[in-house]
Structure 1
Amino acid sequence: MVIEPIPFDLQVACEDVVELLSARADEKNLPLILRYAPDCPRRLIGDAGRVRQIVTNLAGNAIKFTHEGYILINVECTGLTSDKAAVRITVEDTGIGTPQHKRDEIFKKYAQADAHISQQYGGTGLGLAICKQLVELMGGSIGVQSREGVGSRFYFTLFLPLDKQAAPTPKPKADLAGVRILIVDHSPVNRQVLLEQVGSWQMRADVAGSSAEAIQRLREAAERQDPYAITLIDDQMPGVRGESLGRTIKSEPGAQNTLLVLLTALGQRGDAQRAVELGFSAYLTRPIRQSELMDALATVWSAHLKGEALGLVTRHTVAESRETSVLLEAEAPPVLGAKVLVAEDNFVNQQVALEILQSFQCEVTVASDGVEAVDCVRGRPFDLVMMDCQMPRMDGFTATREIRKFENGGKRIPIIAMTAHAMKGDREFFLDAGMDGYIAKPFDLDQFGEVLREVLGQA
């Protein structure tokens, strides 16, 4: 056997395995769940094909020997240096388990846990022996923890160099930080994995394990005047389908405005249309990759902020949108790392400006009034300030004058006014006020692109 190290994305490799095996798991009504720890590096150097082979074999065995419960592929980093990551991949199941006296033999060729089990389920054959050989060829170690009748954990650890030439990990197309989301799923493992995922995008998340608990949480949030912006619902809830829960939520006072996203493992013809009729914003079939979920949530949230009518978001529309984004990025002005301050008191306008500027790969800071804007400029350097004209405590014109005083003839920061009342001749007015131009609300991608090209000189 030969090991061929190449740069690869470990999370994508594990997602490939889940996609490959999901049909087998669905046949037994077993959730096949991937948990990729947020602090685990994704871009590494190793033999991606061999890693997939090992995970596929371990997860395939887990499905074979499990009647009910779940299969969890858990990827975490157990050690990190400037050059390498120690990555531990565990495949956990709730299957039949392995007797204590057989565990030391299980990685040997043709070894079986039990002759009766081999007849009933079929054996692991050479699979586990080959897994052990491959792991050791890559300088790692493999082992098993198991309780008969409870389940097993097969785990292996690899020490993989970091891919330092990799592009940055993609960020959401819309800023999800601070967005409130309720996760409704009867599986504790699913809830925990989803909670960790959305938490890594800085979303404010709560969970509910039943439809009754979900309704209660939605009511409590409405009473606190802190409603959930998005509710993510598993379609296979015991006693009630996710679709039915969605209908109930839409009739619940104080919860009608939450954006509904349905996750289902058993998509069938006509389901998507029914989801639209019930008021769902997105309909996503499992297994769903983390990037797909992130993009789907960002898409429905972005459309909501902009007040845009949006058709049902699916994995297909997310893929199409990603292709379009690649084309837009090719046309976008190369302002990578430009530091932009957005001074704006309206939350919706903040989010729209933030999303558009981040799509141009700018580093964005938000100030909620003129006083904060002046303090920000005094505290750190910016390449550009986008200044709303009408703000509490200090308006944009006064803030601009304060910034110009602070500069005192030194390096001049470009300041662009953002106004909802632009009229012919206003450009001269804004220039006289010490600003360098203006854009009219509502904002759009082209406006910001022109400003960045003109003001930052990065055409």
Structure 2
Amino acid sequence: MPTSGQHADDAANLLLSQLNDVLDYSKIDIGALDLHETEFDVSEMSKNVLALFESSAKEKGITLLFDDELNHRFYATCDKGKLSQILTNLVSNAMKFTEEGEVEIVLSHGFPKGLKIQVRDSGVGIAPEHRKVIFEPFTQKDSTFSRIHGGTGMGLAISQRLVELMGGELTLSSQVGDGSEFTVLLPCCMRFPEEVESKPETKKAYRTESPIEILIVEDNPANQLVARTILELSGFKVTTASNGKEALDLVQQKQFALVLMDLQMPEMDGFEACKEIRELNDQSNALPILAMTANVSQQDRDRCKRVGMDDFIAKPVNRRTMLDMIDNWMGKKHEVFDA
């Protein structure tokens, strides 16, 4: 049986995905969502997404399958965080409407030198009249399913928008009573293991008897919840502040290992708060302060450098990016980032 800890982790990770969906959708609408391309192992990423649903799959008696039609691991260059978000939404949708049978991820070639990912399920299927509306935000295939299965209705809508933003296409093939198949086609560069130097991954565990404490300074409740959940699931102790003035008071009262600082806040913004913290004493001057912002213009970077910020974490927050950056700065002597 799944443990309560597994349930908590699954629920928290899926909550993060839903919150990021809403934030991303808003940013796409105003043309403010940036893509960050990196090279990564698509097979490993796909298996990690399936792992999020292991406990709920066991409860429902659903089999989770992974099929790499390329028959080996391969690397793709695109926005890993966004692709993982898309895949999480598609698997979540498949799980929601499958009461028995299986949910499967299949990887293969798509565009010339591109990537094709299919998410298949043996669920109830989708009638032709419902196939367009399911890609609209805050809708589900019908009110009966909404009452039974719940959900925000954002997953498929944001997935389609993200795929299009990445230059690709999301399509649906389905038959009522015989399951559904969502296909993502992305025109991204791919490399195979023989072309990539194998580097063992070193994972750090933060769960200790005396957790490392991080201060989150963020006035938006949704953004604050996302960041807090990511950190607490990773074993950190978290304190929150809703503006720069609260942060300045807290830094003088207790010792933090690192500060995540929003820039635009009431009463005292992140720029002024960072400047005030740096002027307190030598200890606060060495405290890593990372800006959390959706706007990473050169003007913002220059201003952050002047007040003593160390680095940027882009919103909406990506779990892996945040933890990697914290890894990088944890224990590092304060040194202003290179703008």
TM-score by length of 1: 0.35
Higher relative contact order (CA 8 A, sep 6+): 2
TM-score, normalised relative to structure 2: 0.46
* Larger gyration radius, structure 1 or structure 2: 1
